[in-house]
């Protein structure tokens, strides 16, 4: 006989645990089913460990920059203990996943360890170490996430790594080949380069970081060159062979076949939604040709009491998008009329320097027939940026020309990931360029550049012509 559940959430990543907590806050009895670890990919093998590694790499690289500031350090006394780096990374993960566990307990949310599959539109079976159990539910939120995509000609092995495996390496490779120049490949490639690895990136498109403005990408490209990272574009990996603790990749670039030998190959060509593991057909849930679940503006699937969020639905695979959708789905289940609105969801690349964009960008506005007013400001003209030895980068603010309402922004430079939030708030509130320009920003701060860009768009810039 099936056990009765009220709201069941399948997956405990940022989308799943957020949805569970919001549903519990609104009076629902919630059960979470997770087959691996609380926090999902993001907290355990994605966002958090990668940013911890990136931060450690940045700190290590900064030692060489201190000498320009008059801080003299004997290079022989600077050592990298990578085992300690990994231990510190693990402590960050443990602290956050432990926090998620406490939050779920605090909201009286039951957690079941196991893998869930539908057997009907109201019933699931959960397989675990001791067998399996059947559950009947009233409402369900699917937050099953995604996994690294594997290339048929470069299957994962001891030397051909997914991003998950690369984050858990016990050594810093001397040579690393990265197949895929998207955000994961660039972030991890730059991090290992700062640790001293010779990195080569193979990107199939005409540019790394496809989808981002060329002006933003060019700044990252300059830093890749400074770090002695080789980048091949329009390059296609054909196959690889492993021998004597190294791997050789055969690839095609500029019409020629080339070979690259490295200690490891990191494959970062995208992620695959975990919809094939849920038994969706038994519940009658429809997926598109990319195996993503179609949902409406309330995150509802074609089966009215089953909702889907995060990496298994259309749109960018972003943890903060999943959390946002999770709250909306939980609120709908609780009887509220919530809908999703993606105008203010930022996209961030933790490259060097960082890239962050939000809202409607200049080219998109032009394509949509929107007349724009654009203001730009350079990091090189900001006092705080110069004092941080971070003069490379720029802020671009986009507004509707007629009303002056802020509609988008793109930032490349240190702390872009944090600066973009102010513009997201401005868009959400319907703020104008004048609103932003008249907001007093503390000095000296990086945030002043948002104000300065707004002033420049109005033709009232103080610190730039």
Binding residues for NAD(+): 180-187, 203, 270
Tally the residues of the chain.
465
Q: Which residues contact 259 (CB under 8 A, 6 or more apart)?
A: 248, 249, 250, 251
Whether 397 contacts 375, CB under 8 Å: yes
Phi, then psi, of 330 in degrees rounded to 5: -65, -40
| Residues annotated within a binding site for FAD | 51, 311
Binding region: 51, 180-187, 203, 270, 311
Residues 6+ apart with CB under 8 A from 36: 44
d(CA 197, CA 40): 29
Q: Annotated catalytic residue: which of 134, 239, 389, 443?
A: 443
Nearest to 7 by CA among 127, 97, 122: 122
| Nearest of 133, 142, 150 to residue 13 by alpha carbon | 142
R_g (Cα) of the chain, nearest Å = 24
Q: Rounded to whole angstroms, what are the CA distances from 321 to 268, 311, 328, 444?
A: 21, 9, 11, 32
Respond yes or no: is residue 443 known to be catalytic: yes
Separation of alpha carbons 342 and 332, rounded Å:
17
In degrees, rounded to 5, the angle at the alpha carbon of residue 287 between the alpha carbons of residues 164 and 23 is: 70
Q: Is 234 left (phi over 0), alpha (psi -120 to 50) or beta?
A: left
As annotated, the active-site residues are: 443
């Amino acid at each position: 006989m099936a056990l009765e559940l009220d709201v069941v959430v399948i997956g405990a990543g940022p989308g799943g645990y957020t949805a569970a907590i919001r549903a519990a806050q609104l009076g629902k009895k919630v059960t979470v089913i997770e087959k691996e670890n609380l926090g999902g990919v993001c907290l355990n093998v994605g966002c958090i460990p990668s940013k911890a590694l990136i931060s450690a790499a940045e700190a290590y690289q900064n030692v060489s920059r201190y000498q320009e500031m008059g801080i003299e350090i004997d290079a022989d006394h600077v050592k990298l203990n990578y085992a300690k780096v990994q231990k510190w990374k693990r402590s960050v993960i443990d602290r956050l996943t432990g926090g998620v566990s406490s939050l779920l307990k605090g909201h009286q949310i039951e957690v079941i360890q196991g893998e869930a599959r539908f057997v009907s539109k109201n019933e699931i079976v959960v397989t675990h170490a001791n067998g399996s159990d059947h559950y009947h539910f009233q409402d369900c939120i699917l937050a099953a996430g995604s996994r690294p995509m594997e290339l048929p000609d470069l299957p994962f092995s001891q030397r051909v790594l997914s991003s998950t495996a690369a984050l858990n390496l016990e050594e810093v490779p001397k040579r690393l080949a990265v197949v895929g120049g998207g955000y994961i490949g660039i972030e991890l490639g730059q991090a290992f380069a700062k640790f001293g690895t010779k990195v080569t990136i193979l990107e199939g498109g005409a540019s790394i970081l496809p989808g981002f403005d060329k002006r933003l990408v060019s700044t990252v490209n300059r830093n890749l060159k400074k770090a002695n990272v080789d980048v091949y574009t329009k390059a296609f990996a054909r196959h690889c062979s492993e021998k004597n603790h190294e791997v050789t990749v055969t690839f095609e670039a500029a019409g020629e076949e080339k070979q690259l030998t490295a200690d490891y190959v990191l494959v970062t060509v995208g992620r695959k939604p975990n919809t094939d593991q849920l038994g969706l057909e038994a519940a009658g849930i429809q997926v598109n040709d990319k195996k993503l679940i179609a949902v409406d503006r309330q995150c509802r699937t074609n089966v009215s009491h089953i909702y889907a969020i995060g990496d298994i639905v259309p749109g960018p695979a972003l943890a903060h998008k999943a959390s946002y959708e999770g709250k909306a789905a939980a609120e709908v289940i609780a009887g509220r009329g919530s809908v999703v609105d993606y105008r203010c969801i930022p996209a961030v690349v933790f490259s060097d320097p960082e890239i962050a964009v939000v809202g409607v960008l200049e080219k998109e506005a032009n394509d949509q027939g929107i007349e724009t007013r654009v203001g730009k400001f350079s990091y090189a003209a900001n006092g705080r940026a110069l004092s941080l030895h971070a003069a490379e980068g720029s802020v671009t603010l986009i507004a509707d020309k007629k009303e002056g309402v802020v509609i988008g922004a793109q930032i490349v430079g240190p702390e872009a990931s944090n600066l973009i939030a102010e513009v997201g708030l401005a868009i959400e509130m319907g703020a104008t360029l004048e609103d932003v320009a008249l907001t007093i920003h503390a000095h000296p701060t990086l945030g002043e550049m948002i104000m300065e860009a707004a002033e420049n768009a109005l033709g009232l810039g103080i610190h730039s012509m």
